[in-house]
């Protein structure tokens, strides 16, 4: 995993409770001094509780707008003031359910960085796109939307998460070889812009990662950790995944 510090990020989606925050964070904070960045992405209402429990946290999305008449939206500046360090942008569920476009995702990426949040840019193809041989085309288009808006240097202060849509919450997982192939494509593509940025960028895999497959996934040369869904809600599974990341540095 080169010399890039791995990340294990737990995306709780619209799940979780005060009890779960306490249970997970009591273990997750033990990794603060180890060679892995553990991040929890709880529902927005629990963000401050994760901060209180001493674990790095972020929001699952943020608004591309500044403060104003945007009912229900999450302002990047306020999230940062409340202790968020990161935000997901462009998660496949945001793209599919809420119809976020590549341009809108790029705007959110920019707004996150403007107010001191590190964006984790989520990219990935649907099953139909993979079967049509369009994986690389789709992923490149999603990443280039950010580069075209902000330039390659913006990726210095970011993370990319490759999450094939067909593997999210389905129990299907890209094989380590399939995942590595796309991660390598992403890094090689970015080397065409700036080799130093590409080599330093941490690229995570997301898509039904669990305690049984994480070690093999994280052992791949260009996979720098994982964006974990369902398994991040189970303490023992999540901690096992964190241990897998440490073991593959």
| Total residue count of the chain as it appears in this document | 249
* Right CATH for 7-36+43-225 from 1.10.220.10, 3.90.1150.10, 3.50.50.60, 3.20.20.70: 3.20.20.70
Buried b (16+ CB within 10 A) or exposed e, 114-150: ebebbbbbbbbbbeebbeeeebeebbbebbebbbeeb
Residues identified as active-site: 91, 163
Per-residue 3-state assignment (H helix, E strand, C coil) for 54-111: CCEEEECCCCCCCCCCCCCCCCHHHHHHCCCCEEEECCHHHHHHCCCCHHHHHHHHHH
184 is in an annotated binding site: no
How far apart (Å, rounded) are the C-alpha atoms in residues 168 and 177?
Answer: 17
- Whether the predicted model's global pTM rises above the 0.85 cut: yes
pLDDT at 166: 83
229 is in an annotated binding site: yes
* Domain residue spans of the chain: 7-36+43-225
What pLDDT, in 10s, does the model give residues 201-232? Answer: 999 999 889 999 999 999 999 999 999 999 99
What secondary structure letter does DSSP report for 67? S
pLDDT at 174: 83
13 is in an annotated binding site: yes
pLDDT at 248: 59
Q: Collect the ranges in the chain with pLDDT lower than 70.
A: 1-2, 248-249
Q: What 3-state DSSP class applies to 12?
A: coil
169 is in an annotated binding site: yes
Work out the number of other CB atoms within 10 angstroms of the CB of residue 156: 12
pLDDT at 42: 98
141 is in an annotated binding site: no
């Amino acid at each position: 995993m080169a010399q890039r510090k791995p990340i294990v990020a737990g995306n709780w989606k619209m799940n979780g409770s005060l009890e779960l925050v306490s249970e997970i964070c009591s273990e997750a904070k033990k990794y603060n001094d180890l060679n892995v960045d553990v991040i929890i992405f709880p529902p927005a209402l629990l963000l401050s509780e994760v901060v209180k429990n001493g674990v790095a946290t972020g929001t699952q999305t943020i608004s591309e707008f500044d403060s104003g008449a945007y009912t229900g939206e999450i302002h990047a500046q306020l999230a940062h003031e409340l202790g968020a360090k990161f935000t997901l942008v462009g998660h496949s569920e945001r793209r599919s359910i809420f119809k976020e476009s590549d341009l809108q995702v790029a705007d959110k990426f920019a707004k996150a960085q403007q107010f001191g949040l590190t964006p984790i840019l989520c990219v990935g193809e649907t099953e139909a796109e993979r079967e049509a041989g369009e994986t690389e085309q789709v992923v490149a288009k999603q990443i280039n939307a950010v580069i075209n808006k902000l330039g390659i240097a913006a990726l210095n202060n970011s993370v990319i998460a490759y999450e094939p849509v067909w593997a999210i919450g389905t129990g299907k997982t890209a094989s380590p070889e399939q995942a590595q192939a796309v991660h390598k494509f992403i890094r090689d593509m970015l080397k065409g812009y700036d080799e130093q940025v590409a080599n330093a960028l941490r690229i995570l895999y997301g898509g039904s990662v669990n305690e049984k497959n994480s070690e093999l996934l994280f052992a791949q040369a260009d996979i720098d950790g994982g964006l974990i869904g369902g398994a991040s809600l189970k303490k023992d599974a999540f901690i096992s995944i964190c241990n897998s990341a440490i073991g593959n540095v």
